[in-house]
Amino acid sequence: HVQLVESGGGSVQTGGSLKLSCVASGEGVYDSACLAWFRQAPGKEREGDASVDNIGIIRYADSVKGRFTISKDMDKNTLYLQMNSLKPEDTGVYYCAADYWVVAGRRLVVLEYNYWGQGTQVTVS
């Protein structure tokens, strides 16, 4: 059983930075699972921003490349998302997700993930 708890959201001005954290518990979640960050803007579907698989391969959505950085600290069982140069369109609820069976090429697809955190709000104005 995997549990994910996000933190680090808040309100920032355009151009600012935030670092999100996701503490994950569950057997082998950092060794074997693919981990990802998704966002859901008001009135829009949830979409993937970044993922890192069990061997460290990282994928970013085009909209966040060069601005966001995903990383994981296995000693702390924590997944991070460093967000720089934030824009108003980055506003939304950010979710951490995990799954042990994610098809390569679909690492930023919502349906590939069965485990989700509760989300943390990010507001950019």
* pLDDT of 95: 98
Which of 82, 57, 56 is closest to 67 using CA atoms? 82
Which of 12, 16, 24, 122 is closest to 73 using CA atoms? 24
Residue type, 118: Q
Decide: 77 and 30 in contact? Cβ < 8 Å: yes
How deeply is 98 buried, as exposed, middle or buried, from its count of CB atoms within 10 A (0-12, 13-18, 19+)? buried
15-52: pLDDT as tens digits: 999 999 999 998 888 888 999 999 999 999 999 999 99
* pLDDT of 27: 83
Which of 58, 15, 66, 13 is closest to 37 using CA atoms? 58
